[in-house]
Structure 1
Amino acid sequence: MSTFGELKFTLPAMRMLENEHRYLSYLMQEWHAHVLWFEGEGLSLAEGRRRLVELRRLIREFMIPLNKHTEKEEKYFFPMLGAYIGFEQGPLVGIQEEHKEIDAFIGHFLHHTDDEPEQLPLMAIQAAVRDAGEAFEILTVHFVKEEAVIYPMAEQQLSAKDQKRLNEQLNTLIT
């Protein structure tokens, strides 16, 4: 994953996806700060419940652009790149599995914290928050893998015609 300086890729479609990663990473930092709070010592139940409400809000808001980004990759980008590099094995298989894993961890967190926060004991909150932490870790590595392996493949493999078509398909907002 690139730093917050210049974009690394030259193809407009890859630059769009890379830029979306930057935005998603920014949003992730907001909610990950709450996840890290739950790893501390001597936590207050009242503060834990308050932070849980805020963490749920931030993650639900985060899921809107994440789902749009993921949908764009799975609907347009992966099928097009897969036509060049294959679907049965290789990097696309792992990347798509990670999409499912991320969704599962976040879904598990939201499901297990869906009850009224006033009713949840601190240990149950902390256990559920670990799922949000796992999602953060997977997402972070996932973005690095896409930018280090998948996106460069696209820049090298896609024909000019497919590059143009992919650019048109991906040129939508995730917000």
Structure 2
Amino acid sequence: MPNSAGLSATSPAMRILENEHRYLSFLMQEWHTIVLSFEQDDLPGEEEARHRIRELRRLIMEFQIPLAKHTQKEEEHFFPLLGSYIGFEQGPLVGIQEEHVEIDGYLGHFLHHTAGDLELVPLAKMISAVKDAGEAFEILTVHLVKEEAVIFPMAETQLSEPDHKRLFSRMNTLIT
């Protein structure tokens, strides 16, 4: 049942995670705008590209902090609890956890290839590096939707009331 905040989860623990998704999506939009400027060839020259890369690096490094805290909450508390109900060997939890690694890899790859003196990096290499940030955005966007459409509703119906309460107490922490 949707509520006034636009959240669809009814469980307080799932609402926390869903709300964190909203915040992460907001932050993602900030840096995705820069990615799109590279994808749409909206660059007046190498100097402007370097400026945008520096800003993109800053935004992604800031983004990684709440993303890591959110991911840690899911992997340390939520997934193990849900996995005790639905299993760990196959199914949606396996794919979701693999996506966490993939997202981290793309963001890390972008940061690695844009580290150091950008004056020495040719435009073609900058454009190539930004593609990794774009891939991270794409995977993250679909990932958040999958969690909200599949994983969270599954948890709401599968977890016992005591487990919902215990999970809420563990999820009720800040990611900022």
2:120 corresponds to 1:119: yes
Alignment of 1:142-157 (within 5 A): 142-157=143-158
2:139 corresponds to 1:130: no
Secondary structure in structure 1 of the residue aligned to 2:39? coil
TM-score, normalising length: structure 2: 0.96
Aligned-pair CA distance for 1:118:
1.4
Kindly report structure 1 stretches of 4+ aligned residues shifted beyond 6 Å: none
TM-score, normalising length: structure 1: 0.96
Aligned-pair CA distance for 1:6:
2.1
Partner letter of residue 10 of structure 1? T
Instruction: For structure 2, list consecutive stretches of 5 or more residues without a partner in the other structure.
Output: none
How far, CA to CA, are the matches of 1:156 and 1:42 in structure 2? 47
Q: Match of 1:26?
A: 26
Q: Match of 2:35?
A: 35
Partner letter of residue 147 of structure 1? E
Secondary structure in structure 2 of the residue aligned to 1:92? helix
Aligned-pair CA distance for 1:58:
0.1
Root-mean-square deviation (CA, aligned residues, Å) is: 1.5
2:171 corresponds to 1:170: yes
Q: Match of 1:108?
A: 109
How far, CA to CA, are the matches of 2:40 and 2:156 in structure 1? 43
Q: Match of 1:12?
A: 12
How far, CA to CA, are the matches of 2:170 and 2:42 in structure 1? 50
Aligned-pair CA distance for 1:7:
1.0
Q: How many residues align?
A: 174
Please give the per-residue CA displacement for 1:145-173, whole angstroms capped at 9, x wherever unaligned: 00000000000000011000000000000
